[in-house]
Structure 1
């Protein structure tokens, strides 16, 4: 009832006109159809012994679903494009056919007519474009889901003040605020649907993920927030000749218009242009991976949308390397809090050391795996994983027998699914950055091995950890001495309480487990009783029809208790 009430409130608020309501309902229809299809094939059919049907048709069904979503996203634009772009980066969980289908969304965003863009820009800048810029290209250089970019040149006075001439002007799409509001309202309702599925709710707080996505979207449509993030990113790498970022022209920037230095160069995935410029794509992959690791572990401020359109390789004269990476579009950034960074440090060290137990500890520290989980089977599976596939690059994995990979993937997946695994909201953007980085590096260098840029980090992290070892030992020794000092007094207190008869023990957890065992036993008895009544009734249908029908009807009661009784 509460969900229905919320939806009735959300829809009018989200869609204040017919177009908004139609958009809202179209998104929900697509989601409902997808939920029903997944529920039928992945939950119902396996329970009735037809799992082979679901497995045989899974790839074809998922590809068809991706195509339908792509058509929906192209038709609607807005956040649907962003969701498709996010899923296209999940090379770790989606087949390449699906990611390739969704990746086309990067280039399928239709441009807004220039006259509509002019209205937004003139209103925001408080003057016509002809007075704000010396020239302004009517044709966009790029069109995105929330805005589009045009080339322009600054007026002589502005150029002299900023030291810039050629600039890029980003202008938001007209009415994008309303579109985002409608899309988020629909996504919130879809998240509530997903949260009712136990296999989803046990592992992820879907409404919380949508709220984090909403916060990111609101920040992304605030170009002043993006400008601040761009300057912070540039400051992080001010002494690093591997990285560049565009300067901001604050005098020509508002919440909906952003003017910044034109830094367009060779797109990072244009391997033909890279080689023509004498730049080895394999070197670019190594530097790119290292820069992304620096953002996570050194600066705790990560570009969460490093797709090919947002990173250029800029040739440089007089540089030892001869080029640098130039990042643009800082609307989607991920902050890495101290606790998450500490967990990631543990993870990197464990992976480099092929330490399965350390990797489990890292998963618990990050929050992906609950501390109460029984991890014995997971540790064994990770040990096998490291022994068989550890250290392999993507090209080496392609040479492994596909059946061996499939079998190991099924066994490993079963082990993970049996554990209380969850997805913390703070990992969403970071996972996107990691997925895009991994996919980009593999595209640049087929033999790219992710362990190569990780291992120097692991060595440095291990050195840092050992540098703190003495401090940790001193702190631990102090804590132990304090515990020993307090021990006699605590023992005396326990003896006094025992003598006075006030010593108690909390066995509530044991009682709770006993209650659960009793309830399971009672439900098992109900199941046996159901079977007896059903079979007895069937046998009596011939000789004593009325008694047979009565027994079969009564058997429904223990069946209902066995299926729906309190667990």
Structure 2
């Protein structure tokens, strides 16, 4: 009877539960539609305002109004977007964070307005975090961890982090005790889906604007952004990326990454070693620990260059909250960089990496033509572009501003920049420039790196860490060129060296044949060809040794001198072997 009553009670409660779930789904759907409309309304207002001030007013002869109000308009737009992003959260925070890193294209007032989005994300109530974590781990938090701090150490757009202590069993298995547990925000999958739908709609609008579509494939960029976001909300993917990053720098004492506690990691919960230390932008803390912020800037830039050009696996979100400076326990003043948060990583394809290498070599050697070719190789500049005027502009740019740091550029008279813009503005604007998909995250990483290094050291010049790297690349290119030249010369010399034997073989076959005509004149001519061939071989060997010696004088002076000296032997043979001959 009790079982029957329980069954009846369950049957009676099931429609109510189903109705509650239906109401929740309906509420979520309505909330998603409202969120979608708010994003589109903001974008539409921004487009209309930009169209009116930047296109309509100049055509009506009122360009002064557009220019005089531009800074204030952009600042108001940035503030409205910041309010929207903080209110909505989700991917809007990510969009704002990306724009805050674009110090190269956005005014500092706007980037400063959006920079607070790195730390301004409101936290989720702990009870919601507890419920999600326990559902993912399958056990109560009290059984999963010895302790779990309900106050988050950090709150991000897609999740938040809490400090915890592993149980004795897990601590014995992993060798760790203190950990940081990242837990995703509730319903983040639905939020991401709504935000991506809105961004796809906005990208469709941009595709219809010719000035934008000629330079960037907005829908493709949104799809790449979508892929990155889906990877970022998969904590199993982030855990694998953390281990891969650690493997890349396993032999590098200046870099480390937290260990992953796989026993307490799922798709929506990630448990990592607690590596909290001095934030990279905490200059007071660095100096108190006896660490020079300028040294940190130099090492940070070098490590980021290694990620791009050596490992092809780049931390694409190197903002201050994701990088610590960890002093060594020895007390000898040593330290290393500790990276965290590997949800946003950039893979650098071979073609893009080769193009970036060419770009650095061209800039380091002030080669305007090489820079244009590198831009075409990367895909920023279409191959069909007419580049003669661009090369001239880059030559002028290199001559005046080449090698300057941001601090030095700030001291340059603005009229010089204005004069350059007037002279070459039309040339640059007319270029068929586009933004390749694979370059988006890399640009974010580079922008954040430059901004971070400049904040650590006001005199920081990005060319200081790039210069030795560029020098190594130039040496490698020179070595490859020397090897190519030497290889081609040796190949030609081999052909000429085999020529007498081939001629002798022909003579032998003629002597053994059934032909009865007189070959004495042919033999004399062939003997003359043999002598000429041997002299040609000597000449080629002389040239190969001489050029090879010259190229090797820099990296290997002893070997270069020997080759140049020995080259005199084939030279003497080439000059004097024909003396006295007919």
- TM-score bracket, shorter-length normalisation: 0.7 to 0.9
Secondary structure at 1:17 match in 2 = helix
Contact 1:79 1:145 in 2 (8 A): yes
Secondary structure of residue in 1 paired with 2:272? strand
Task: Measure the CA separation in 2 of the matches of 1:20 and 1:472.
Answer: 61
Aligned length: 469
Q: Does 1:326 align with 2:338?
A: yes
C-alpha distance in structure 1 between counterparts of 2:382 and 2:355, whole Å: 13
Q: Does 1:123 align with 2:135?
A: yes
Distance in 2 separating the partners of 1:159 and 1:16:
40
**Alpha-carbon deviation of 1:398?**
1.7
Say whether 1:39 aligns with 2:51. Answer: yes
Distance 1:185 1:299, change over 3 A: same
Shift of 1:283: 0.3
User: Pick from 275, 299, 303: which aligns with 2:287?
Assistant: 275
Residue equivalent to 2:66: 54
- Deviation at 1:318? 3.8
Measure the CA separation in 1 of the matches of 2:490 and 2:156: 57
Distance 1:253 1:285, change over 3 A: same
Q: Does the 8 A contact of 1:14 with 1:185 survive in 2?
A: no
1:70 aligns with 2:90: no
**455, 458, 476: which is aligned to 1:443?**
455
Q: 1:428 and 1:290 mapped to 2: Cα distance?
A: 21
Match of 2:205 in 1: 193
The TM-score with structure 2 as length reference comes to 0.78
Selected match of 1:139 from 138, 151, 165: 151
1:14/1:21 contact within 8 Å kept? no
User: Which runs of structure 2 are paired with 1:135-534 in the superposition (5 Å)?
Assistant: 135-318=147-330, 322-409=334-421, 411-470=423-482, 472-473=484-485
SS in 1 for 2:252: coil
Equivalent residues in 2 for 1:520-559, closer than 5 Å: none
- Per-residue CA deviation, residues 528-561 of structure 1 (Å, 9 max, x unaligned), is xxxxxxxxxxxxxxxxxxxxxxxxxxxxxxxxxx
2:37 is aligned with 1:25: yes
Distance 1:478 1:374 in 2: 39
Q: 1:181 to 1:478 in 2, by over 3 A?
A: farther
How far apart, CA to CA, are the structure 1 residues paired with 2:107 and 2:178? 41
Q: Distance in 2 between matches of 1:477 and 1:200?
A: 50
CA contact (8 A) 1:393 1:450 kept: yes
Kept in 2: contact 1:133–1:155 (CA 8 A)? yes
Whether contact under 8 Å (1:15, 1:24) holds in the other structure is no
What 5-or-longer segments of structure 2 have no aligned partner? 1-24, 494-582
Structure 2 contact 291–333 (Cα < 8 Å) conserved: no
Is contact 2:158–2:233 with CA below 8 Å preserved after alignment?
yes
3-state secondary structure, aligned to 2:354: helix
Moved more, 472-481 or 427-436: 472-481
Q: CA deviation at 1:472?
A: 4.0
Partner of 1:529: none
Counterparts of 1:77 and 1:412, CA distance in 2: 41
Relative to structure 1, the CA distance from residue 15 to residue 282 in structure 2 (aligned partners, 3 Å threshold; closer, same or farther) is farther
Q: CA deviation at 1:242?
A: 0.6
Unaligned runs of 5+ in 1: 1-12, 482-567
- CA–CA distance in 1 between the matches of 2:399 and 2:409? 14
3-state DSSP of counterpart to 2:435: coil
